[in-house]
Amino acid sequence: MTRASTPAPLLEVQRLTVAYTRAGRSYDAVRQVSLTVQQGESYGLVGESGSGKTTLALSVMRYLPRSAAVRGGRVLLNGADLLTLDAKAMRRIWGRRIAFVPQDPHTSLNPSMRIGQQLGEGLSTDGLDQRQARQRALSLLADVHLPDPPRIAECYPHQISGGMRQRVLIAMAISREPQLLVMDEPTTGLDTTTQASILDLIRDLVRRRSMSILYVSHNLGVVAQMCDRVAVMYAGELLEDAPAARLYARPLHPYTQGLLDSVPRLGQNKRRVRLRGVAGRPPSPAETRSGCVFLARCPLAIDLCNDAPTLFETAEGHTARCHRWKEIEAGSADPRQPASRKAGPPRTPTIGREVLALQDVQVHFPLRRSLADVFSRRIRRVRAVEDVSLSIERGFALGLVGESGSGKTTLGLTILGLVERTSGEIHLLGKPLPSVIAGRSPGTLARMQMIFQDVDESFVPTMSIAEILRRPLIRLSGSPPDEASSKAISLLEAVHLPPEFADRFPSELSGGERQRVAIARAFASKPEVLVADEPISSLDVSVQAAVLNLLNDIQVVRDSGLIFISHDLAVIGYISDVIAVIYLGRLMQVAPAAEIFEPPYHPYTEALLSAIPLIDPRGKQERIRLQGDAPSPVDVPRGCPFHTRCPRFLGNLCKEVDPPEQRTASGGMIRCHISLDELKAVQPRVFAFSSPVEGSG
């Protein structure tokens, strides 16, 4: 698919500027953006939140919210400017020539219409009669690999899973064979394994029907795997546009470089390599700018950058909006952010340094629905955590990885006493820990703290940062109020925030800054154990690295134990010394960080590793896909809980018998009926980068 062979581009966006009006002021969400999508091309648009990528996608669909207006530019589809068309004319284009796959499958389907009907109604406008439309709908459902299409067609959206709904939306989008699919983060919010099969599906469909895609995402891996061409957007501007392989291998814009440096590669570990990330915080859309939009965060900024750079054509098909692209290309200027501090020395777990031990911890919730259920004793139980035994050493990080519903967060909350455990013991520094907070002394509370996933909800919005930091000092460390104030300032310094932040309110801070404050709060009482529940997943990519580094540094310095909960094996692999893989409340595999990426894997770990989109367009990965969705924790399968989806399913043994915990040489564990040797024999290494990755084990 070379450019020369398709002289007439399918989609051309020319100098598009879109402005939003909010609270009486208007600001540009997209400024002077031009891009071209060729016939049959998959074009990726990467950017963080607020970069304008979704606005751009909606402009291409000619479907902007009321508060947005196009201020200039053109959107040409096959040479015709969509922006000049009225709604009536667009109706002949929507669905038929361009189709849209939205981000949120939960709200994007009409809740009170059956799936089949929703699929069919678009077809009926093409003149199909009801029977034909239904036939076509069923075949489309089959095309997107939905099991039992007639049943699905009769379902309402709430009766099927998120992944299935996304497939329905894709079926809907391709139903009338459009030339261009505009996809707005179609897999965000889905589990990794589900995402992998949806991405497979999209790739497959596009190839077979030779459609073009404009694929919008914040996920570097997904775009790397999906797109032929990738453009990077930042603060409403397009900063770099290149063929995917070229962009990932030789980025010419410092922001692209920073973005790539912000996320750990699968197999990288903090003990060997330090993430660089991007300094500073992303600009807010209302800021007025002159000069280069990336100026404030750029390691290569010079006076010249105060003049806005144009998009320089650096090579055939590669443009970059940087004054210094030539120096970068020549290697005379390093676009990477300076590495701050060195990572701590590698350590290995030693006996006797254990701070926290879990013994057969079990958490069940009654699924109470009404008084009537209580009386009829039909209480069903959510088996969230099942017989988990783990230990955490001082100064070490335990990574807990699992998909949604795996019980990983519940386990964290149980350790902290925010959720009552049903049975099992937890020992903190050798002493048994009461089940709930109410039974724990302030001293005990001080020893265990938590960092929460959602930075927007981590703080009382009406309290100043100083107050937020003072409370644990006063309540848990017994600091007198005046002393607490000065300690709060030093806590801010410890998380690299200026002291004047003390007077600010959480809403005045960026996400990364808030998560730093959360870290400061968590460490205020000098905890022995810190639970971090997806601490970076709600942050923009470019600030994730800094938070991750900070968390790591403080933990190492304070020598506390860390339980890091995440769905992202790459992040877990980077931060953790020991990794535990959890599925339906059960630990499937426990292994030292380096070991988890090498065979033998637990079959579930193997599938997870296979599902993670490598941030390397030319990387290689085994294709292991799980069937269907994970069962609900209310109906945990007997035997091995993973047997319903296991690609290495043996038969009745897996169905009936609880698999044994097989110990590995390094003290790891794999819960499987298949022996370790056999696993090792049949399992290749799941993934391989096209070139060696720094610090990878």
Partner 1 sequence: MTTEARSARAGLRAIPGLVLSLAAVVAAACATGSSSATSPAEPEKVVRIGIQPIAQTDPALISSDSEVLIANQVYDYLIDIDESNRLAARLATDWSVSPDGLEYTFDLAQGVTFHDGSAFTARDVVWTFDRLRDPASGYPTADLYSGITDIRAVDDHQVTFTLLKTNPFFLFDLADNHALVLKADTAFPDRGFNGTGPYRVVEYVPPDRIVMEANTDYFAGAPQLDGLEITFFADTSSAVEALQGGQLDFIMGLSTPQYDSLTQADGVQTQIVDTNGFVAVRLRTDRSPGNDPRVIQALNLATDRQSLFEVVRRGYGSVGASSPIGPVYTDYFDPSASPPPRDPQAARALLEEAGYKEVLKLDMYMLNTGDYPDLGAALKAQWAEAGIDVSLQLVPEGVYYGEGKWLDVDLGITGWAHRPYPQFYLDVMLVCGAKWNESHFCDPEFDRLAGLAGSTSDLQTRASAYRQIQQILVDRGPLIVPYFFAQFGATSERVQGLKLKPFPGRTDFRNVSLAP
Partner 2 sequence: MSRYLVRRLGFVVLTVFLTSIVIFSVIQVLPGDVARVILGREAGQAAVDQLRQELGLDLPAPVRYLRWIADFVRGAWGESFSLRTAVLPLVARRLSNSLLLAAVVLGLAVPLSVGLGVMAGLRQDSFLDNVVSMGSLALVGLPEFVTGLVLIQVFALQLGLFPASSSLADSSGLGGKIAQLILPSLTAALVLLGYLARLTRAQVIEESGKPYVRTAVLKGLPRRTVILRHILRNALMPTVTVVAISFGWLLSGLIVIEAVFNYPGLGSLLVFAVSRRDLPVIQAISMLAVVGYALANLSADLVYAALNPRLRLE
Partner 3 sequence: MSASQGGRSRFRQAVAILFQQRSSAIGTSITLIFVLAALFGPVVAPYGLNQQLTSATFQPPSLAHWFGTDQLGRDVFSRVLLGARDILAFAGVGTLLAIILGATIGLFSGYTGGVVDEIIMRAFDGLLALPAMLLALLLLASLASSDLSVIIVLVVVYTPIVARVVRSVVLSVKELAYVRAARLQGEGLGWILYRAILPATYPALAVEGALRFSYAIFLIASLGFLGIGFQPPSDNWGMMVSDARQLTSAAPWALYFPAAAIAVVVVGVNLLADGLKRIAQTPPDPRS
Q: Interface with partner 1 by CB under 8 A: which residues?
A: 113-114, 116-117, 120, 130, 133-134, 153
3-class secondary-structure state, position 201: helix
Residue 124: CB minimum distance to partner 1, A = 10
117 or 537, CB closer to partner 1?
117
Do the Cβ atoms of 188 and 219 come closer than 8 Å? Answer: yes
From residue 262, give the alpha-carbon distance in Å to each of 48, 280, 295: 12, 13, 18
Alpha carbon distance 639, 658 (integer Å): 4
Q: Which partner, partner 2, partner 3, partner 1, none, binds residue 125 by CB below 5 to 8 Å per kind?
A: partner 2
Which stretch in 171-179, 386-394, 502-510, 574-582 sits in contact with partner 3 by CB under 8 A? 502-510
Alpha carbon distance 300, 617 (integer Å): 27
Show the tokens assigned to 373: 């259920």
Residue 571: CB minimum distance to partner 3, A = 19
Residues 410-449 that bind partner 3 (CB under 8 A): 413, 416, 418, 437, 442, 445, 448-449
Q: Which partner, partner 2, partner 1, partner 3, none, binds residue 638 by CB below 5 to 8 Å per kind?
A: none
Q: Find the binder of partner 3 among 148, 177, 313, 457 (CB under 8 A).
A: 457
Q: Which partner, partner 2, partner 3, partner 1, none, binds residue 116 by CB below 5 to 8 Å per kind?
A: partner 1
Residues near 410 by beta carbon (within 8 Å), at least 6 away in sequence? 363, 384, 385, 419, 585
Residue 212 found at the interface with partner 3 (CB under 8 A): no
Which spans of this chain sit near partner 2 (rule: CB under 8 A)?
61, 63, 65-66, 87, 90-96, 99-100, 102, 104, 107-113, 121-122, 125, 156, 158-159, 169, 172, 176, 370, 372
Residue 507 found at the interface with partner 3 (CB under 8 A): yes
Helix (H), strand (E) at residue 578: strand 578-583
Alpha carbon distance 549, 70 (integer Å): 40
Which stretch in 211-219, 356-364, 471-479, 667-675 sits in contact with partner 3 by CB under 8 A? 471-479
Alpha carbon distance 628, 204 (integer Å): 18
Do the Cβ atoms of 164 and 144 come closer than 8 Å? Answer: no
Q: Which partner, partner 1, partner 3, partner 2, none, binds residue 328 by CB below 5 to 8 Å per kind?
A: none
Show the tokens assigned to 277: 């990330």
DSSP secondary structure code for residue 301 in this structure: -
Which stretch in 10-18, 255-263, 278-286, 655-663 sits in contact with partner 3 by CB under 8 A? 278-286
Residue 114: CB minimum distance to partner 1, A = 6
124 or 485, CB closer to partner 1?
124
Class of residue 4 by CB neighbours under 10 A (exposed 0-12, middle 13-18, buried 19+) = exposed
Q: Find the binder of partner 3 among 68, 363, 476, 488 (CB under 8 A).
A: 476
Instruction: Determine the straight-line distance between the first and last CA of the chain, rounded to whole angstroms.
Output: 36
Residue 504 found at the interface with partner 3 (CB under 8 A): yes
Half-sphere exposure of 328 (CA within 13 A, CB side): 23
Q: Single out the residue of 37, 76, 33 nearest to residue 55, CA to CA.
A: 33
Q: Find the binder of partner 3 among 503, 635, 677, 678 (CB under 8 A).
A: 503
Residue 372: CB minimum distance to partner 2, A = 6
Residue type, 39: Q
Residues 9-28 that bind partner 3 (CB under 8 A): 22-24
125 or 130, CB closer to partner 1?
130
Site track for partner 3 across 287-316, x = CB under 8 A = x-----------------------------
Q: Single out the residue of 478, 495, 489 nearest to residue 548, CA to CA.
A: 495
Q: Which partner, partner 2, partner 1, partner 3, none, binds residue 104 by CB below 5 to 8 Å per kind?
A: partner 2
Size of the site for partner 3 (CB under 8 A): 38
Show the tokens assigned to 374: 């209580």
Show the tokens assigned to 284: 């807010």
Write down the H helix ranges in 263-406.
325-330, 371-375
Q: Which partner, partner 1, partner 3, partner 2, none, binds residue 571 by CB below 5 to 8 Å per kind?
A: none
Q: Which partner, partner 1, partner 2, partner 3, none, binds residue 485 by CB below 5 to 8 Å per kind?
A: none
Alpha carbon distance 620, 495 (integer Å): 38
Half-sphere exposure of 621 (CA within 13 A, CB side): 24
120 or 527, CB closer to partner 2?
120
